[in-house]
Chains A and B, each alone.
Chain A
Amino acid sequence: MKARMLATHVALPVFAIAAMTAPSRAADFDWMKFKGKTVTFLANNNPVSQALLTYKADFEKLTGMTLKVDGYQEQQMRQRLVTVMNANSDEVDVFMTLPSREGEQFAAAGWYSDLTAMAKNEVAKDYDPNGLSQALLKAATFGGKLTSMPMNIEGPIFYYRTDIFKKCGLEAPKTIKEVEAAAEKIKTCDSTLTPFVSRGLKPAVAYTFSNMLHNIGGSYIANGKSNLCSTKGKEALDTYSRLLRDFGPPGVVNYSFQQISALYRSGRAAMAFESSNELRTVMEGGARLKDTGLLPFPAGDAGQVPTTIGWGMAVSSHSKQPDAAWYFVQWATSPEVQKKMALQGIAPPRPSVANDPEYRKWIDEEPVRKEWQAALDVLATKGSSEVGYPIVANPQSREFIGQAVQDLILKQKPIDQACADADKALDALIALN
C-alpha cells in the first residue's frame, strides 16, 4: 500500500514534471496551427480570469483562433461544469479548476485531459514549463497525470492596521497567541473597531481554518480516521472560533471574502485573515494603502505552514480539439502573459516573473506590495495545498469543518460534541474514498 502511495503521490508526479524537461519540438511550433478554430473557455469570473481576459484579443491575434468565454461566478461555474461533463458534452474545451478542492474528484471522474504529453511535445520556445511553480504542478498531478497548468499562486495572508497597532502599543504579531493578545488589547483600546475578522461562512471556512490547523500542528486525517478531535485539532477549532466569536464582527457566520474585504477596506477592522488575491479589492480607493501591514499568518506550535493554492487551467477530456485547447492554456500560462497579469496584482506562479525587473519596479512602488510579495514568497516555499480533507469528497468535507466551526462560534455545541459530530460525518466520507 505504501509503495503504491509512493508511486502515486511522489514518483509519478516527478516523472510527469521530468517529462516536461525532455527536448520539445519547440522549433516546429507554430501558433497559427489551429487558425480558424474556436476554443470555449469556462471561466470563474474572479480577478484571475478578469486579468487574463484583458488580453483575449492578443490571443486571437497570435493564433487566429476565436476564444469563446463562458464566464460565471465560482459556484455557478462548477454547476455548469458538472452538467456539461455528466452529459459527456464537448461544449467546453478549457475550464478553470482548483486542484486543492476538486482535483482528486475530477481526476477520478476522468474529467481532465492528461497534459503531460502536450506540455512535452507542443510548446513554444519561450514557454518554459519548468519555470512554473513545481509545488503547484505537483498539486495538479493525480495518478501521474498532469491535469492543469497553474494560473496564479494564492493563499490566506494576515492584513493588519499599522496605525491601530501603533496607537494601541502593539507590535506585529509573530505567533497565534500574539494575535489573540492583540485582539484583546484592541478591543479595549478602540471599542469602535472589529479586532479580528476571517471567514465564518460554512463552505468558506476551510480555506483559512486549514492554515490555523497546520500552524498549530494538527492534521485532518490520522491513521485513516478524521482527526479533528485530537488535542491539536480541538485547539485549532477552539482558537479559530474563539477569535471570531469574541473579536469578530456580528454576523461573522455569513462572512466570506466579500464581507471581509469590505469591512477591512472601510477601516472598521484592525486585523483580517483573508486571501492574498484580495489585495487589489482591499486597496481600492487607496484608504488602506499607507496603513496596512501584511504577513503570512503568524506561527503556531508547528511554525508557519501557510495554505498555498492556485487556480489552474484544465483541458476537458470531452473536448474534440484538445490540441487547440492546449494552445490557449499554454498562451495563458506563458511567462509573457503571466507577467502582464502580475502587473495587475495577480501573484505569478513563476519565480522568473516574480523576479522580473518591471514587476519588481511595480512591487517597489508601494511598501504594502513589498510585504505582499514577501508573504507570497513564504507561501511559495513553505505552503501546503491541503484545504479540507485530501479525499475525493473534498468539497463535502469542507461542509463539516465549517459546521464544527459555526457550532462553536454560535455556542450551539461544546467543543467535544462539535468535533465528534464532525469526525463521525467525515469518517463516513473517508470510508467512501
Chain B
Amino acid sequence: MSDTAATLTQDRQKLEMAALSAPAVIFTVAMIAFPVVYTIWLGFQTFSSTGKQSFAGLANYSKLVSDIEFWHGLWITIALFVLSLTLQLVFGIWLALVLFHARRLPGIVRSLFISPFMMPPVVAGMMWLVILDPSLGAANYILQSFGLPPSDWLASPSLVIPTVALIDSWQWTPYVALIVLGGLQSLPPSVYEAAQIDGASPFKTFQRITLPLLLPTIVTAAILRSVDLLRFFDIIYITTQGGPGNASNTLNIYGFRVGFEFFNIGYASALMLTLTAIVFGAVLAFNRLRSAVAW
C-alpha cells in the first residue's frame, strides 16, 4: 500500500471515529454545557415580579456584593460546611476503625451502621423534624427523663446550625466511614508488622502510620462531602426553610427562594453561579491537598 493510500485510510478512520463519537459528544454538550451556559446567560438578565425579562449586564453581581442576605447566607454555608465536615471526618474515621477491627461483627450490624446514608434526605429530614419537635418529639422526652432541660433544637437561632450539622452527620458519617474502611483495607500489612517489631503502641501506630497513610483517602472523602455540604439544601428545606428568622438560610436555600418563590430567576442564577464557583474553589483546594499528601 502506498503512503498516500495509507494516509487516506487513516483519515477515513479518523472521520469514522469522529462520526461515531459525535452523538455522544453532542449529547454530553447538550446535557452539561447547555444548562450551564443558559444559567450564565440568565445571570445577566433581570426579571420583574411579573416575570418580564430584560438585559441587566452585571447588575445582579453588583447587587450581590451589597446584599446582606448573600453575605449572611455565605457565612451560614461556610459554618455548616466546617462543622459538618469536621464531625463527619472525625466520626467517620472512628467508625471505620471500629468496623475494621471488629471483624467478627455480624453482617446485619455492619449494614445497620452504614444504613443512614441510604435513606433519602427528605425522609431523614421528616424523621428528625418529628424527633426534634420541642413539644411532641422524642429527643426532649429522653433529655427530660434523664433530668436534663429540654432544648429548642431547630427552633433556636443559636442551635439550628449545630442541630442541622448533627442530622447531616448522622446521615453521612457512615458514607465517610465506608470510604475510609476501603482505604484501611488497602494499607500494606508489612508496615504494621515492622511497627509491631519496633514495639510501637497502638496509638503511636495510628498516629504515625495509619493516619498519614490514610490521608489521601480522607481527603477524597472530604472532597466528596464538601461538594454536597456547600450545596446543602434538602434537610434545611424540610426542617426549617431557612429559619428561625434567617438563622439557617444557606446560599442554596436563599437562591432557591429568590428564584422560585420571588420569581427573580436572574438574581437567583447569579447567586447559584457564585455558589458553583465556591464549590469549584473548594474542590480545587482539596485536590491540591490530595496531591500534597499522596504516597
- Taking beta carbons and an 8 Å cutoff, which residues of A are in contact with B? 75, 78-79, 82, 85-86, 105, 108-111, 194, 201-203, 249-254, 259, 262-263, 266, 268, 392-393, 395-396, 399, 403, 406-407, 410, 412, 432
**Given that A86-B51, A432-B49 are contacting pairs, would A251 and B263 also be in contact in the complex, using a CB cutoff of 8 Å?**
no
A429 to B, closest residue via Cβ:
B49
**Given that A105-B50, A406-B243, A406-B245 are contacting pairs, would A78 and B260 also be in contact in the complex, using a CB cutoff of 8 Å?**
yes
What are 11 pairs between A and B in contact, CB < 8 Å? Answer: A78-B260, A105-B50, A203-B241, A249-B134, A254-B154, A254-B155, A268-B135, A395-B262, A410-B157, A412-B245, A432-B49
- Taking beta carbons and an 8 Å cutoff, which residues of B are in contact with A? 48-52, 133-136, 150, 152-157, 239-246, 257, 260-263, 265
Q: Which residues of A have CB within 8 Å of B51? A: 85-86, 109, 111
Choose one: A86, A108, A111, A396; the contact of B261 (CB below 8 Å).
A396
Q: Which residues of B have CB within 8 Å of A263? A: 135-136
**Is B134 a contact partner of A251 (Cβ separation < 8 A)?**
yes
- Apart from A250-B155, A251-B134, A396-B261, list 20 A-B contacts with CB within 8 A: A85-B51, A109-B263, A194-B135, A202-B242, A202-B243, A249-B134, A250-B150, A251-B155, A254-B155, A254-B239, A259-B133, A263-B136, A266-B136, A392-B49, A393-B262, A395-B262, A396-B49, A403-B246, A410-B157, A432-B49
Q: Which residues of B have CB within 8 Å of A410? A: 157, 244-245
Q: Which residues of A have CB within 8 Å of B245? A: 202, 253, 403, 406-407, 410, 412
Most A Cβ at <10 Å: residue of B135, B156, B245, B261 = B135
**Is B48 a contact partner of A432 (Cβ separation < 8 A)?**
yes
**Is B262 a contact partner of A396 (Cβ separation < 8 A)?**
yes
Main secondary structure of the interface of B (DSSP, over half): loop
B258 to A, closest residue via Cβ:
A396
B260 to A, closest residue via Cβ:
A79
**Is B241 a contact partner of A251 (Cβ separation < 8 A)?**
no
- Smallest Cβ distance from B265 to chain A, in angstroms? 7
**Is B261 a contact partner of A249 (Cβ separation < 8 A)?**
no
Q: Which residues of B have CB within 8 Å of A79? A: 260
Q: Which residues of B have CB within 8 Å of A254? A: 154-155, 239-240, 243-244
**Is B261 a contact partner of A412 (Cβ separation < 8 A)?**
no
**Is B263 a contact partner of A249 (Cβ separation < 8 A)?**
no
- Smallest Cβ distance from B271 to chain A, in angstroms? 15
**Is B261 a contact partner of A395 (Cβ separation < 8 A)?**
yes
Q: Which residues of A have CB within 8 Å of B155? A: 250-254
Q: Which residues of B have CB within 8 Å of A403? A: 245-246
**Is A251 a contact partner of B243 (Cβ separation < 8 A)?**
no
B137 to A, closest residue via Cβ:
A251
Q: Which residues of A have CB within 8 Å of B150? A: 250
**Is B262 a contact partner of A201 (Cβ separation < 8 A)?**
no
**Is B241 a contact partner of A202 (Cβ separation < 8 A)?**
yes
Q: Which residues of A have CB within 8 Å of B48? A: 432
Query: How long is the Cα–Cα vector from A11 to B260 in the complex, in angstroms?
Result: 33
Query: How long is the Cα–Cα vector from A108 to B263 in the complex, in angstroms?
Result: 13
A409 to B, closest residue via Cβ:
B244
Query: How long is the Cα–Cα vector from A120 to B52 in the complex, in angstroms?
Result: 31
**Given that A194-B135, A396-B262 are contacting pairs, would A251 and B157 also be in contact in the complex, using a CB cutoff of 8 Å?**
no
